[in-house]
């Protein structure tokens, strides 16, 4: 899908422009956003902007690494953005690449799926955003991306606390699987944040993308948000990993307790069975043929069972 936007210089609001006439449109200071585009849409944008199809397709690979690349007169910046994965009855989190291409006249963004990140810009919720300021647009996108990371990290922390409270009441596989998914989400976040950090450092260190004096504070804020997100992610991941190890130990200990109890009960129940089997023989058995023999054997079995039960109880086997 192709969406084209431009900032109205009089009102400062972002307006959407019909993409049906992109071939003959003046694309100067326009923002072209591609969401899971088809090959025909990629070819159309490539012809209209002069950007190679490979550059546009780079961000459509889920395994694409974050990087900055200059090709001809286009500068490609790829960074990872967070996304929510909806499961059967809960949410997990992962990341996906987001492509930002700057040409002399146009800005192109490419993403595999619809994301709320761009909605903030198209709905005029981001101050100081203008399609005429391409480098500032990139820095604003990076800043809002890491704010979104921090928001999702807080959600993960709250979800983890809720699941742990449920596990205190009943240990079920469902809750453990949810904790495992959250731990995997933190691994994805940690890897993506480190890769984004390299891109941000390169933007700070080099002049691949032109930096203006009024953007310097914004670039520093982006770097701070990235470091903060990395630290939070590492803390939450360590806590969740420790929690998972603790619950694994608790489950193993509970299993040992159950097995110990079952073994003790088996020993106790085997005593009456053994005595009944011995006195059930037909030769050389005391009290055989006596009317009171049954009661004697039952009493002996009961006494032996009580003695063994007391011994096991004192040894904390029951």
Q: Beta-carbon neighbour count of residue 282 at 10 Å?
A: 6
User: Which pLDDT belongs to residue 285?
Assistant: 66
CA distances from 86 to 47, 100, 153, 259, 269 (A): 37, 26, 16, 38, 51
Rounded to 5, what percent of the chain is helix, strand, coil? 60, 15, 25
Distance between CA atoms of residues 113 and 129, nearest Å: 22
Q: Give Cα 314 to chain centroid, integer Å.
A: 49
Q: What is the pLDDT of residues 222-237, one digit of tens each?
A: 999 999 999 999 998 8
Sign of CA dihedral 199, 149, 185, 1: negative
User: Which pLDDT belongs to residue 193?
Assistant: 93
Query: Could you tell me the pTM of the whole model?
Result: 0.78
Contact assessment for residue 103 and residue 116, using Cβ atoms and an 8 Å cutoff: no
User: Which pLDDT belongs to residue 250?
Assistant: 75
Contact assessment for residue 137 and residue 31, using Cβ atoms and an 8 Å cutoff: yes
User: Which pLDDT belongs to residue 284?
Assistant: 64
DSSP state, residue 215 = G
Sign of CA dihedral 259, 262, 264, 266: negative
3-state secondary structure of 27: coil
Contact assessment for residue 301 and residue 271, using Cβ atoms and an 8 Å cutoff: yes
Average pLDDT along the chain, 318 residues, taken 10 residues at a time: 83 76 72 88 85 86 86 86 78 89 89 87 83 87 92 90 76 75 89 91 81 81 92 89 77 80 87 80 66 77 87 80
Which of 47, 76, 72 is closest to 61 using CA atoms? 76
List CB contacts of 9: < 8 A, sequence separation 6 or more.
Answer: 132
Q: Which domains does the chain have, with CATH numbers?
A: 2-252 (3.30.460.20), 253-314 (no CATH)
User: Which pLDDT belongs to residue 210?
Assistant: 75
CA distances from 50 to 43, 45, 53, 194, 276 (A): 10, 8, 9, 32, 95
Distance between CA atoms of residues 67 and 242, nearest Å: 33
């Amino acid at each position: 899908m192709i969406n084209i936007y431009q900032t109205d210089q009089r009102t400062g609001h972002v307006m959407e422009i019909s993409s049906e006439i992109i071939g003959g449109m003046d694309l100067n200071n326009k923002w072209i956003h591609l969401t899971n585009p088809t090959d025909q849409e990629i070819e159309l944008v490539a012809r209209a902007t002069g950007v190679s199809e490979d550059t546009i397709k780079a961000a459509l690979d889920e395994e694409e690494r974050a990087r900055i690349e200059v090709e001809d007169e286009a500068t490609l910046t790829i960074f990872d953005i967070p996304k929510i994965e909806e499961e059967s009855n809960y949410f997990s989190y992962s990341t996906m690449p987001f492509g930002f291409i700057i040409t002399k006249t146009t800005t192109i963004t490419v993403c595999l799926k619809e994301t709320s990140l761009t909605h903030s810009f198209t709905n005029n919720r981001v101050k100081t955003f203008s399609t005429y300021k391409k480098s500032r647009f990139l820095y604003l996108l990076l800043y809002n991306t890491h704010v979104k990371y921090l928001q999702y990290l807080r959600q993960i922390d709250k979800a983890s606390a809720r699941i742990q409270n449920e596990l205190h009441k009943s240990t079920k596989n469902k809750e453990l699987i949810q904790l495992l998914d959250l731990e995997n989400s933190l691994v994805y976040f940690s890897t993506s944040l480190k890769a984004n950090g390299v891109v941000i450092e390169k933007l700070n260190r080099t002049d691949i993308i032109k930096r203006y004096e009024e953007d310097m504070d914004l670039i520093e804020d982006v770097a701070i948000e990235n470091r903060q997100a990395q630290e939070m992610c590492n803390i939450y991941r360590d806590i969740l990993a420790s929690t998972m190890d603790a619950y694994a130990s608790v489950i193993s200990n509970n299993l040992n307790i159950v097995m110990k109890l079952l073994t003790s009960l088996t020993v106790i129940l085997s005593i009456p069975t053994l005595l009944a089997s011995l006195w059930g023989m037909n030769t050389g058995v005391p009290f055989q043929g006596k009317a009171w023999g049954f009661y004697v054997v039952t009493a002996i079995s009961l006494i032996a069972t009580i003695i063994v039960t007391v011994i096991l109880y004192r040894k904390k086997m029951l």
